[in-house]
A and B are shown apart, each in its own frame.
Chain A
Amino acid sequence: MSVRIYVPCDSAALAVGADAVAAAIVREAARRGLDIDLVRNGTRGLLWLEPLVEVATPAGRAGFGPVDAADVGALFDAGFIDGANTHPLALGPVERIPYLARQQRVTFARIGITDPLSLDDYRAHGGFAGLENALALPAADIVAAVTASGLRGRGGAAFPTGVKWNTVLQAPGADKYVVCNADEGDSGTFADRIVMESDPYMLIEGMAIAALAVGAARGYLYVRSEYPHAIAQLQAAIGQARAAGYLGADVLGSGRTVELEVRKGAGAYICGEETALLESLEGKRGIVRSKPPLPALAGLFGQPTAINNVLSFAAVPLILAKGAGYYRDYGMGRSRGTLPVQLAGNVRRGGLIELAFGATLREILYDYGGGSASGRPIKAVQVGGPLGAYLPESQWDTPLDYEAFADRWAVLGHGGIVVHDDTADMGRLARHAMAFCAAESCGKCTPCRIGATRGVETIDKILDPDAPAPQRERQVTLLRDLCDTMLYGSLCAMGGMTPYPVLSALNHFPQDFSQADMPRPGRL
């Protein structure tokens, strides 16, 4: 009887040497004449432990990590393939690691457990049950189930998914499309990447259900070029799903056609904005479109299009498999279901934490994250990506809930959290936000295109240590005025949200902009 050993193949594990660990385990087992069965699973999301090697034992899967290839000989010596707990890297049963045990894994329930490309694994863990149910339902009933679940877009804007799909379903159009926005370009986010690399069939199933719900026969997954491994996994998974009849001209013998295709982005952050993404899919520069018309009415190639984030589609199979109520019963207020929190940056235990809405930022930072990686005090926490606000300690008791964040002039967005310790220079980070906007602006609207460039220049004048205080104060006034123009005058969130990191840094950490007193108007 061979012993099953798991070594993740998600890119976070690969980036810290998982392939070398896998090779070392195979080599060492052969040298010792031991019979092993090596499985390349997805990631558990305990990313500080990667590569996290697991050994199947009668008592469950025993974890060891983070494992370096050089540790493998000693792990064998310590009897790790019998699940012995004596090696310093031993973690005990993985399911009982508090970081994982305390989560509410709903969308990520299967992730890290299975071989991402094994259809048998996927089916054995509940896969395709949602699609099978959806095939037996009229389109309007699928939409009604998604509406009743309370699912809101997980891309950041939090628009109700069922309402969007209903618009597409009702819209007249010769062809309709489903499009997956997999252009996850925000620093501090990796949940989409984990879904694509570690459970691609879930995304495929969610998109197939969406296609049935809105009356589309074709779907596109637009994946950023910085994620080559995710692209390869999706392409392999789509090929196998089609061969097994879950996609193609006759989905599971239903006579329904659902074709999916992966399209590779080309390094433009703005293509994460849905209308710029559609332009890019059409072969053009990723220039933002004016809305209306909404993509739901006139999207890809001018046709009604359901465009959603990876996590939105990924939540759908379970809703169709277990019912709307199952999902809706998680969460608080109008934020239903779970939020895959992505904890990153200067934190001891960074990773993916799926929780019902409502946990506080402080719980995430300390109970899960264990404080800063550097051991220094945490100073500022940016939530919701590079266009999200920096929150100071006084705001860390905010619950993870869209409305609660909005009340504090912050954004929860897709739940990406980046931690900075007290060495962070908030003036430099504010400048970075403006410089990033200047580099990545699509250029269509003036507040973003010119505003960001002027913003960099203005912050440079504020940060100039030789500038006299009155001059600096004038520049701060100018910067606030410029941010106001960008907030209310930009065509999309790129220019419209860049003021969030800039102004929150200025308001909460004025000492990083000047030793002198800064003007601080009451608003914002």
Chain B
Amino acid sequence: MQAPLSPAAADTVAAAVLARHDGRQDQLLPALHALQDAIGFIAPARVPAIARHFNLSRAEVHGVLTFYHHFRAEAPARCRVTLCRAEACRSMGADRLLAHAQRTLGCDLHGRSADGSVSLDPVYCLGQCANAPAMTLDDAVFARVTPARFDALLAHALEADRPAPTHPGGPSFLPEAV
């Protein structure tokens, strides 16, 4: 998780992001993604500027922002946990994993741990159905998650203040450890 930007810096970044997207409406979702990726969330106060840029009403932009689960109106927690709540994960103990996460973090789904450092949200399918149950920690996906693995992953993320080092892989993977 990157450090939060100051309000002034966020405004500068937002203006630059919008400038990279022309005003055609089909660029709205790509622009919203870019804004959230750069700043961490899309504050309601930013809606008028977005609406002006795309020649839309504020209601239209608000409608889009609130329709999609992906977009956040508030700064994210330092660690973001999502647990899959869909059928395949349920068949492999997702309910027990959720109960464990709730006990550990002291919050319910859509909530945050007491100190605000960890958010807990549901997700419906991460495509890991054959190795259920699955979760994400920040942007990394984990499968075959047991309560013990959940604790280890969370401890690692909180201690290191960064996601566990297993994602993304692929051809960009370079074994710098050697």
Residues of A within 8 A of B (CB): 9, 11-20, 22-23, 26-27, 30, 38, 40, 47-48, 50, 115-117, 184-190, 193, 225-229, 232-233, 236, 263-269, 280-286, 301, 342-347, 350-351, 373, 382, 386, 416, 418-421, 424, 429, 432, 436, 440
Contact = CB atoms under 8 A, between A and B. Distances in A.
B177 A26 contact: yes
Nearest to A300: B26
Nearest to A28: B178
Contacts of A19: 165-167, 169, 173
Nearest to A380: B91
A380 B128 CA distance: 20
Contacts of A345: 87-88, 91-92, 129, 132
Contacts, number: 198
A22 B144 contact: no
B101 interface: no
A23 B178 CA distance: 8
Listed residue (A286, A342, A344) with the most chain B CB atoms within 10 angstroms of its CB: A344
A187 B68 contact: no
Contacts of B60: 284
B87 A386 contact: yes
Given A386-B86, A418-B91, A11 B175 contact: no
Nearest to B61: A283
Interface string B96-131: 000000000000000000000000000111111111
A373 B93 CA distance: 11
A27 B64 CA distance: 48
Contacts of A266: 29, 32-33, 68-71
A77 to B, nearest CB: 19
A268 B67 contact: yes
Interface residues of B, number: 53
Interface in B20-34: 24-30, 32-33
B11 to A, nearest CB: 23
B89 interface: yes
B150 interface: no
24 contacts: A9-B169, A9-B171, A11-B128, A12-B143, A15-B166, A16-B144, A23-B175, A48-B131, A50-B131, A187-B88, A228-B168, A229-B167, A236-B171, A267-B69, A268-B70, A283-B26, A283-B54, A345-B87, A345-B129, A345-B132, A346-B92, A373-B92, A421-B91, A436-B124
Contacts of B54: 283
B141 interface: yes
Contact of B129 (A38, A50, A115, A188): A188
A117 B88 contact: no
Contacts of B131: 12, 15-16, 47-48, 50, 350
Nearest to A280: B29
